[in-house]
Each structure stands twice: as C-alpha cells, then as structure tokens.
C-alpha cells in the first residue's frame, strides 16, 4: 500500500471528526469529566499524523 | 515470598535471574520464529516488519502484557471489567471501573483496595522499565556505538545519513512526545497554570493505548511504502531446517519469557513493599538497563560486520516500538496510572536527550560558524578554524561522550529528587 498525501489528510480528518463527535457526545451526555482526556487524545493523534506527514514530505 | 524464597538477597537473585532469562529467551523466540517464517516462504519484508521489529522489544512488550493481565486478575472477576459502560472503559482508568464494580457489589472493599494498589505499583514498574530502557539506549548505548565505530574506523566522529535522521531518529523523539502528551493530566496542568494546585500525572487509558498502537501501525506502513528493499535485508537468520522442532523450541522459549516476566513482576512487588523504593525506580534501574542489552549486542555485532547503519537502525527502531507497541498494548488491556516522576523528569528528559542530537546534527554547520566567529574574536584562531569546519549530520566522539555523561546526570537526578511514584 502506498501512503499518499490524500490518505494522510484523510486519516487526519477522520481523527479530528472522531474527536469532535466524541466531544459533542461527551458534553451532551454530561460526561464533561472526560473533556481533558479527550483533548490529550486529540493532540496526541494530531502529532502522530503531522509527524508522519512531515517524514513523508522530507523523504 | 516468590518461588518459595524469602529475604532480600534471595529475592534479588531470583529477580536478577528472571530478567536475564527473560531477555535471553526472547532472543531465542525471535531467532526461531524468523527461521520458521522463512521456511514457510513468508516475505522478508513482512518478517522484518513483524518478528524482527517487535523482536528486540519483546522483553518490554511481554512485561507490559503480563503486568496488565495481573492488574485485571487482581479484581478476581476480570471479565466483568469489560461489562463496564463503553465510555468509561475507553476513557476511564482501571480504578474508576473497579469503583463502579464495588458500588454494584461485584467485588469487596478489600479486593478494591488491593486491586487499586496493584494497579498503581504495576503501572509504575512497567512504565519505568520502558522509559528507563529507552533512555539507556538513547544516551549510553548510542554514545558507546558511535565512539566504538569512530575508533574502529579511525575517524573523529560518526556521520548520520539525512534519511536516517528523518526516518528513524526524529520519529523516536516524536513517539516520546506523543506518550508525554497522552500521559499528561491536562486538567491538572490547567489548574496549576491558573494558580491552583493539581497533579500532572494522568492516566494512559484504553483510547490512549489505541492511539499509540495505531501510530505504530501507521509508522510501519510508512516504512513499508518508503523502503521495502532495505527492510528485506534486515534479520540475518537463515531458513529453518526443521520447522516443527524450531516452532516447538520457539513456543517453549515464549513460555519462559512470559514465566520470567511474571516472576520478575512478583519480585518487584515484594521489593516495593520491603524496601519502600518506588516501582518505577526499580523499573528504570533494572529492566531498563538489562532489556537494553539485546539492542547493545545487535549494535556491537553490526559494527563488527561493518554495518553501522543497520546496528543503529535496530537500536533506534526499538525505541519507537517500545512506547508505541509495548506501552500502547498494555494500556489497551488494563490502562496505566502514570507516576509523577515520569511526567516531570523521565519523559521530558527523553524528549530532550533524543531531540538535542537531532537538532544539533541538523544545525551543526551554522552553530560551528557562530562559535567559530566568537573564538576568532577572543584570539583562539586554531579553535575557530576547527569550529568553522564542522559539518552537519556528524556526531563527534566528544558529542557521544556528552550523551553518555547525560545518562549519568539523568540517573542522579532521578534517584535524588524523584523517589516517590504517587503522592
């Protein structure tokens, strides 16, 4: 399988959408205690995706 | 009491032997399985991406999985844990889940207490072991490999290829950063910034574990798409002549790996109770050092065969597998409580210790010019010429010696200022 830029952007968007959905889900189900945890997850996955994107660009 | 032994010295001996056995048996598992996979015609690339890449991290991976199973078993009703509500299971910690089980009357108060205690102690030990082993490799082992390879070749330093720095060294910094971001208690950080009090040590939840493991898969796919050819040349084991016998030996050795991981974790449990040392400190000082041995042996044997790039590749590669796969799969199974010293010292230091050499090697030329001008102004002309001649992507023997020195600074500060896991 070839990793193309579109696939990486797709992966990134999928993660962001999942995070936004879970944040909304979280707020309306009164589970705001998990908001910070989800923020960490969002940031972690963003670093992972951007990192792979950076490596792909540089090599 | 572990395996019928009691007292500090016999326990220490059992613990020490169990780590040696763990690391040695893991080596056998990898060699035999590689031979068997080659016999059945599995492609070299697939073997390199699975058995070889996981291979050098097998001791750490097994310790994580065994500890996670021990945490789950500590409730007495491990399967009931997975009956918790899905959000709590994914984003909550083990303690929150067993607290709910206590409220439902599924477990007793005593079981809750002991499960909570085991969760904290095992988390500390295995996380300390993983991070400890990474720091040893990133400073001491890399430093030693560079010095020995430079001395063997009669050069003053080691030249890294630009691709190696981008594909291997930089991701090593990135994976540590991701682990730090996931392990940090963001709520505590916000409270501290706003002037209140809070703790920075968070939880590695199942969702965090999932992010780590999927990042490992993404990294592997990236490697596959960019360097199929060089992956195929990794791993020097030849095709198995008697696959059934080798498979059996491999399976027995895997049993030894799991058994010795279990014995080791029990010894640590006794040692934490008897000595008052924290689990993560024992992890950093024992498994951390011993589990760096296979990488060190691979690196040195690589040097003897004149393949510095391969030997450093294995070393750095295992530091990517360690946090992503070992910590990730353990967190997916049982979740981990992250000890404070890991957030305040170990993980930030690991980011710095791995990040500094990369930055330095990319900017060495520019830095040398600036320092050269300064040296020229104060009249050190010879030094100025030497500084101006510094090239990018080279780590000199002096640089490697500084890395080794930094390891001892790291250990000294860790043991002096961070004795407790959870306050």
Q: Do A36 and B186 touch (CB under 8 A)?
A: yes
User: What's this model's pTM, rounded to 2 decimal places?
Assistant: 0.84
* Cβ contacts of A48 on chain B, cutoff 8 Å: 174, 178, 211, 214-215, 218
- The number of residues in chain B equals 423
Q: Do A40 and B224 touch (CB under 8 A)?
A: no
Interface test mutation site (partner A, options B88, B97, B166, max chain A beta carbons within 10 A): B166
Distance CA B141, CA B318 (A): 12
At B214-269, the pLDDT tens digits run 888 888 888 777 766 555 555 567 778 888 899 999 899 989 988 888 888 888 88
Q: What is the pLDDT of residue B178?
A: 94
Please name every residue paired with B170 in a beta bridge, in sequence order, or none if there are none: none
Taking residues B21-41, what's their average pLDDT? 85
- B259: its two tokens: 């058994």
Which of B92, B186, B221 is opposite residue A40, by nearest beta carbon? B186
Of B36, B421, B86, B341, the closest CA to residue A31 belongs to B86
Distance CA B116, CA B75 (A): 9
Coil, helix or strand for B203?
A: strand
Q: What is the pLDDT of residue B208?
A: 92
Share of chain B above pLDDT 90, in %: 23
- Answer with the residue of higher pLDDT: A27 or B242: B242
Domains, chain B, ranges and CATH?
8-417 (1.20.1420.30)
**Other CB atoms within 10 A of residue B83 CB:** 13
Share of chain B above pLDDT 70, in %: 88
B142 pLDDT band, cuts 50/70/90, is confident
Cβ neighbourhood burial of B7 (10 Å; 0-12, 13-18, 19+): exposed
Phi then psi for residue B380, to 5 deg, are -90, 80
Alpha-carbon distance B271 to nearest alpha carbon in chain A (angstroms): 33
Percent helix / strand / coil, chain A, rounded to 5: 85, 0, 15
Residue B387, CA distances (Å) to A8, B141, B368 in order:
41, 26, 5
At B372-389, the pLDDT tens digits run 788 778 877 777 777 676
Which of B178, B186, B202 is opposite residue A48, by nearest beta carbon? B178
Q: What is the pLDDT of residue B127?
A: 92
Phi then psi for residue B32, to 5 deg, are -65, -45
Q: In whole numbers, what is the pLDDT of chain B averaged over residues?
A: 83
Structural contact between residues B212 and B323, judged by C-beta atoms closer than 8 angstroms: yes
Structural contact between residues A15 and A49, judged by C-beta atoms closer than 8 angstroms: yes
Q: Do A37 and B186 touch (CB under 8 A)?
A: yes
Interface test mutation site (partner A, options B211, B227, B354, max chain A beta carbons within 10 A): B211
Q: What is the pLDDT of residue B206?
A: 92
Q: What is the pLDDT of residue B157?
A: 75
* Cβ contacts of B185 on chain A, cutoff 8 Å: 36
- Answer with the residue of higher pLDDT: B48 or B202: B202
Query: Which of the residue ranges B74-78, B284-288, B299-303 would you say has the lowest mean pLDDT?
Result: B299-303
- Angle at the Cα of B410 from the Cα atoms of B192 and B196, rounded to 5 degrees: 5
Contact of B226 with chain A, judged by CB distance below 8 Å, is answered with yes
Q: Do A55 and B184 touch (CB under 8 A)?
A: no
**Taking the C-alpha atoms of B350, B288, B46 and B251 in order, what is their torsion angle to the nearest 10 degrees?**
-160
At B328-369, the pLDDT tens digits run 999 999 999 999 999 999 999 999 988 888 887 777 777 777
Distance CA B371, CA B382 (A): 12
Contact of B411 with chain A, judged by CB distance below 8 Å, is answered with no
B1 pLDDT band, cuts 50/70/90, is low
B116 pLDDT band, cuts 50/70/90, is very high
Contact of B187 with chain A, judged by CB distance below 8 Å, is answered with yes
Q: Residue B72: how many CA atoms within 13 Å on its side-chain side?
A: 19
Q: Which residue on chain A is closest to B166 by alpha carbon?
A: A55
Query: Which of the residue ranges B10-14, B46-50, B92-96, B336-340 would you say has the lowest mean pLDDT?
Result: B46-50
* Cβ contacts of B221 on chain A, cutoff 8 Å: 1, 3
Q: What is the pLDDT of residue B279?
A: 79
Structural contact between residues B324 and B215, judged by C-beta atoms closer than 8 angstroms: yes
Residue B311 pLDDT exceeds 70? no
Q: Do B202 and A40 touch (CB under 8 A)?
A: yes
Coil, helix or strand for B41?
A: coil
B83 pLDDT band, cuts 50/70/90, is confident
């Amino acid at each position: 399988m070839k990793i193309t830029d579109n696939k990486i952007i797709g992966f990134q968007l999928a993660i962001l959408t999942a995070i936004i959905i879970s944040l909304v889900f979280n707020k309306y189900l009164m589970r705001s205690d998990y908001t910070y945890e989800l923020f960490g997850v969002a940031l972690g996955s963003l670093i992972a995706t951007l990192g792979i994107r950076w490596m792909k660009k540089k090599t | 009491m572990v395996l019928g032994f009691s007292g500090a010295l016999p326990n220490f001996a059992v613990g020490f032997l169990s780590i040696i056995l763990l690391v040695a048996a893991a080596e056998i598992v990898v060699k035999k399985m590689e031979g068997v996979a080659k016999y059945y015609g599995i492609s070299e690339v697939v073997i390199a991406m699975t058995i070889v890449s996981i291979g050098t991290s097998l001791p750490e991976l097994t310790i994580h999985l065994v500890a996670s199973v021990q945490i789950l078993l500590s409730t007495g009703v491990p399967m009931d844990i997975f009956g918790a509500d899905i959000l709590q299971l994914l984003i909550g910690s083990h303690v929150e889940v067993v607290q709910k089980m206590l409220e439902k009357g599924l477990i007793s108060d005593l079981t809750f207490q002991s499960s909570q205690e085991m969760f904290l102690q095992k988390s500390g030990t295995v996380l300390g072991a993983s991070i400890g082993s990474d720091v040893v490799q990133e400073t001491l082992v890399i430093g030693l490999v560079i010095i020995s390879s430079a001395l063997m070749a009669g050069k003053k330093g080691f030249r890294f290829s630009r691709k190696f720095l981008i594909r291997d060294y930089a991701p090593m910094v990135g994976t540590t950063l991701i682990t730090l971001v996931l392990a940090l208690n963001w709520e505590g950080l916000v409270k501290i910034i706003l002037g209140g009090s809070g703790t920075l040590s968070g939880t590695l939840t199942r969702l965090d574990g999932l992010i780590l493991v999927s990042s490992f898969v993404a990294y592997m796919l990236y490697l596959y798409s960019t360097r199929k050819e060089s992956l195929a040349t990794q791993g020097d084991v030849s095709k198995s002549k008697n696959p059934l016998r080798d498979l059996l030996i491999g399976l027995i050795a895997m049993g030894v790996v799991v058994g010795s991981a279990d014995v080791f974790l029990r010894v640590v449990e006794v040692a934490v109770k008897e000595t008052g040392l924290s689990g993560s400190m024992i992890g950093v000082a024992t498994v951390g050092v011993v589990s760096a041995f296979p990488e060190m042996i691979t690196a040195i044997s690589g040097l003897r065969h004149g393949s510095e790039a391969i030997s450093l590749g294995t070393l750095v590669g295992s530091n990517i597998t360690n946090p992503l796969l070992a910590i990730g799969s353990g967190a997916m199974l049982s979740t981990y409580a992250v000890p404070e010293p890991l957030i305040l010292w170990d993980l930030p230091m690991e980011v710095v210790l791995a990040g500094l050499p990369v930055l330095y090697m990319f900017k060495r030329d520019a830095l040398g010019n600036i320092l050269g001008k300064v040296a020229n102004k104060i009249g050190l002309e010879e030094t100025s010429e030497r500084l101006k001649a510094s090239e990018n992507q080279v780590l000199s023997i002096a640089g490697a010696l500084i890395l080794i020195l930094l390891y001892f600074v790291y250990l000294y500060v860790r043991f002096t200022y961070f004795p407790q896991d959870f306050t």
